[in-house]
Structure 1
Amino acid sequence: MQPQPGNPYAQAPQYGPAVPVPAAGGRGGGAGKAVLWAAVGAVVASAAWAGGVFLIGGKGDSADLRGYKAPADMCSGGDYSSFKSEYPQDDGSPTKNTLKNPAMDESYCSLALKKTGSTYADAYLTMQLDLHRKTNPGPEFTATWKNYGDSHTGYDASPVSGIGDEAYLVSQDTTGSSSSGSGSRYATLAVRDGWVTYEMTYSAYLTSYDQDKNPPSLSNVTGWLKKDAAATLGKLKG
């Protein structure tokens, strides 16, 4: 999922359910065995998903999921405590959804951040965890985020050490380019740990601010993203 600063409440992508297809069998009932194993797998998957947390991985899996669990509710499962001092009001109706698919499990949350006394959102925060169960996301992740500044005009992209196998910070600040006090501040921290990816995005639009409600500096925001992303991944890793 790539940054979409113009659409802070964008829904996470949805996918149709995958239907298992038994491998073509030769003589001796190979196809029948494939159908049997598919049925057994469906029963096990149903049991694992009966709880509030989706348990991913296990012996025999080729995916390097490292014990991560995708929460049923990312808004409560993720950590964004660093933003609370600036935006203490809770969002009463956050946008959240989950996806369970043989190829990927996903948990997503989008929050309106509000300062004290605000009726409307002063900024927005999204969190998304993807557990890639069939395909290694590494090459595409690196190509997308490491080179984001080259493929998107006006954005800065830099590597971040100490979080996962690799992480990149993408940011943009246009508040200084206008004398009218308009513009935006935007930052995404994208992390890959094995076959698991996590993205945390902050965006603020100055047209929505009163004079006494200036947004935090971009350096503060990026520090909060790093701290809370590390806390979230630690919390969700078994």
Structure 2
Amino acid sequence: MGTPPPPPPNGPGFAGFPPQASTPPPQVPAPGGPPGFGPPPGLPSSPGAPTPTGTPTVPGTPAAPGGRTGGNLRRNAVWAFVGAILASAVWTGTVTLVPGLVNGGSSARSIGGYHPVDKICDAGKLTAFRQKYKMVDSYPLEHTGRSESMDIMRCYALMKRTVSDSDTPDYATLDIRVELHKAVDSSPEFAATRHYFEQQKYEITGVPDLGEEAYFAYGDEPTSSDKSFHDINYYLQVRDGGLTYSLYWTDNYQTGKNHTLDRETVRRAMLDDTRDLLKAIGGR
């Protein structure tokens, strides 16, 4: 909810799973040096935890009113994205080189007309979210990896929205991951991901007429001892044949000072932009 500091060289890891509170990660070298990521899949650390009044989270970055900065997730944006790409490369290499470790006798589903594109967010436009938010400079970050066993497309975006009754804009992040599975059936893993959300007490809502199966997962998690600061996390998960898709949207607020978009507006934007994006890569 404050101005986000520039992203430092470390990230929360893989998106696609709910953030969980964790101790601060160790410092790693600046961009250009070894990234220092652990094995996939890592769970994101909890974004947006408040800091003591007047204590910036990153040197040279002023704290927001009440001592809160723009959120740990935004601070870690670039390296979160790069870390997920590295993890994706490891997984793709495993599928290609050691298929017996992941196949388990299941046959791959058809990917139909889906195909990889170089910049998935540019292809999908993100029209609904762009009507509400302005893309921060240098975003979105996009990457595509292709192999005989799986194609992976990834997009990470940091956006801001001017709030009329606030001195600081509202910042939110969007993370899209699309996988085209050509060697294995991904439906058991898709089901396991839903079970994970259920175990974390996320609110699960089915989405009709989107792929073979789709659902929303929603969580609102306090991130401070007085429970006044909250992270809100939205996930839209889709499976359609050999395609799996995840759109993760997160924002934060302080009780009594909520400048975020209302829940239904976010859900509608997620659905509209997802349908446009899937059509752009060959969906119906």
Equivalent in the alignment of 1:123: 172
CA distance in 2, matches of 1:163, 1:179: 39
- The Cα of 1:202 is off from its aligned counterpart by 0.4
CA distance in 1, matches of 2:212, 2:273: 17
Q: Does 1:2 align with 2:11?
A: no
Equivalent in the alignment of 1:114: 160
CA distance in 2, matches of 1:95, 1:222: 22
Equivalent in the alignment of 2:118: 72
Residues 135 and 158 in structure 2, CA contact (< 8 A), matched pair in contact too: no
Q: Does 1:224 align with 2:257?
A: no
In structure 1, stretches of 5+ residues that fail to align are 22-60
Counterpart of 2:113, as a letter, is G
- The Cα of 1:158 is off from its aligned counterpart by 2.0
Equivalent in the alignment of 1:192: 239
CA distance in 1, matches of 2:235, 2:124: 15
Identity over aligned pairs, percent: 25
TM normalised by structure 2 equals 0.59
Within-5 A mapping of 1:1-238: 2-5=16-19, 6=46, 7=73, 9=77, 10-11=80-81, 12=84, 13-16=87-90, 18=93, 63-116=109-162, 122-145=171-194, 147-152=195-200, 154-174=201-221, 181-206=228-253, 214-237=259-282
CA gap 1:166/1:79 in 2 versus in 1, 3 angstroms: farther
CA gap 1:225/1:67 in 2 versus in 1, 3 angstroms: same
Deviations 1:120-179 (A, max 9, x none): 87000011110001001112212322x234321x4111221110000011111247x997
In structure 2, stretches of 5+ residues that fail to align are 1-14, 20-45, 47-72, 98-106
SS at match of 2:274: helix
**If you compute each CA radius of gyration, which structure gives the higher value, 1 or 2?**
1
Residues 173 and 218 in structure 1, CA contact (< 8 A), matched pair in contact too: no
CA gap 1:206/1:101 in 2 versus in 1, 3 angstroms: same
Aligned residues: 194
CA gap 1:18/1:171 in 2 versus in 1, 3 angstroms: closer
Equivalent in the alignment of 2:64: none
CA distance in 2, matches of 1:91, 1:165: 36
Residues 170 and 260 in structure 2, CA contact (< 8 A), matched pair in contact too: no
CA gap 1:215/1:178 in 2 versus in 1, 3 angstroms: farther
Residues 18 and 102 in structure 1, CA contact (< 8 A), matched pair in contact too: no
TM normalised by structure 1 equals 0.69
CA gap 1:144/1:14 in 2 versus in 1, 3 angstroms: closer
- The Cα of 1:237 is off from its aligned counterpart by 0.8
Counterpart of 2:131, as a letter, is S
Residues 128 and 199 in structure 1, CA contact (< 8 A), matched pair in contact too: yes
Residues 99 and 106 in structure 1, CA contact (< 8 A), matched pair in contact too: yes
Equivalent in the alignment of 2:29: none
CA distance in 1, matches of 2:225, 2:162: 27
- The Cα of 1:113 is off from its aligned counterpart by 1.0
Residues 185 and 218 in structure 1, CA contact (< 8 A), matched pair in contact too: no
